[in-house]
Amino acid sequence: MTRAPVRRLAPAAFGLVLLAAGEALAVTDSGLPGTMDAGRIQHVTSGWRERVLLVVADGGQGRVDIDQVIENPKALYRKRRVGCAVRVEDRYLLTTASVAADASEVEIFDEHGRHVLAQVVGRDRFLDLALLRAVEPLEELTEEPLDWDREPIAGEACLVLGNAYGSSLSATLGTMGGILDVLAFGMPIRVHRVLAPIYPGDSGAPVLDEEGRFVGIVTGVSRPRVSPVLEAEGDRFGLHDPPDSPAGAIGFAVPAEECRRAWMDLRDFGVVRRAYLGVHLPPDEVEETGARILGVHPGSPAARAGIRAGDLITTYGRHYVTGGRQFCALVANSVPGETIDVRLVRGQHEQVLEVKLGLATRQPGLRLLPPPQRLPADSTLQTPALGDASR
């Protein structure tokens, strides 16, 4: 592989961007902005300086309006995608698939401007995550290994350590929102809402709690849509800011638990493996709490566990089931081979079944599905992650 010349960026110290009180109040569901004193902010950012790196990837040749070319011929030059990456172990880093795009390698820079190439080990477009591996050793990590088990509470303060506008590492103070179950390219996934200004270049940035614990990685945002990185992400989830919120004030983050699963699967298998249950579900428009089973694939994990058509799933492991889409997300994001307790109602009786999940061999296509339409009452919804699998 041909080595790129070593380059050095100007040193980029962590800056601090604080939400004005009015802005924080405008976008925080609880009405109370997240708070963190200056000493705590300094402590958290200093402990993460060596874990956050800048990522630069080839964005490809873009199509440009002829009037722009006449005014500025440089508009035809190849675009560059910029974002962040989080060091998870030795040479391995997590960034977003939106930043890595289809590149086989990217450039990474630390806060001192030191530059090294990194290979793209694998990517998952549903979680919008990609795993990188530096081609040469990086500075040894002095901090403790990442704690992947932190589940933030809506309303608590958070820090986003990003790369605002691709120019320097920066820290943005905000507030954690709640968990959302959304469709990403047809795959149901769970994301955290992050009530903080998200800037172009922040894709791949870590989100931390006030103790400096890792809670997720920034992915798509509602607004703005002006960055080459964010243009492809802006409406990824089909969600929008409230009318009175400032531009870019609401972002989304892949939860730490999903990040851990993605990095381990991408490292070991090159893909993120997803679980298979083998059931048919009604559309979410059905007025019912839980997930009603309309059909079971013969020989599937669901059939072997004793799940039948007509059963109403009420809990899945430690999660209450609120609807079909959420149930799909819970199953698809489980570990293949894992045994899960499923509580269901059959007729007038409640029972708990043990289900050993299979491995999905076929994943949904990468096409972004249109908004769901209301279907006839007798129609079924088959989620590919639950319906296509090896037995």
Domain with CATH 2.30.42.10 in the chain: 275-387
CA atoms within 13 A on the CB side of 109: 23
Mean pLDDT of the chain: 73
Q: What's the pLDDT score for residue 284?
A: 60
Q: What's the pLDDT score for residue 335?
A: 87
Reported as a single tens digit per residue, the pLDDT across 249-291 is: 578 999 998 999 999 999 999 889 889 999 988 766 566 789 9
13: pLDDT strictly greater than 50: no
59: pLDDT strictly greater than 90: no
Topology given in CATH for the domain delimited by 275-387: Pdz3 Domain (2.30.42)
Tell me the C-alpha distance between 102 and 157, whole Å. 35
Q: What's the pLDDT score for residue 224?
A: 37
> Is residue 373 very low, low, confident or very high in pLDDT (cuts 50, 70, 90)?
very low
> Is residue 163 very low, low, confident or very high in pLDDT (cuts 50, 70, 90)?
confident
Reported as a single tens digit per residue, the pLDDT across 92-135 is: 999 999 899 888 999 998 877 788 999 999 999 888 999 999 99
Q: What's the pLDDT score for residue 367?
A: 27
Domain with CATH 2.40.10.120 in the chain: 10-271
Q: Is the Cβ–Cβ distance between 179 and 192 less than 8 Å?
A: yes
10-271 maps to which CATH number? Answer: 2.40.10.120
**What is the C-alpha R_g of the chain?**
22
The arithmetic mean of pLDDT across residues 303-315, rounded, is 95
Q: Is the Cβ–Cβ distance between 253 and 277 less than 8 Å?
A: no
pLDDT > 90: percent of the chain: 28
* Sequence-separated (6 or more) residues with CB below 8 Å from residue 360: 273, 274, 275, 276, 332, 336, 384, 385, 386, 388, 389
pTM score above 0.75: no
Q: Can you list the alpha helix ranges (DSSP code H) found in the chain?
A: 21-27, 38-46, 66-71, 97-100, 228-231, 256-269, 301-305, 324-332, 384-387
The arithmetic mean of pLDDT across residues 291-300, rounded, is 92
> Is residue 42 very low, low, confident or very high in pLDDT (cuts 50, 70, 90)?
confident
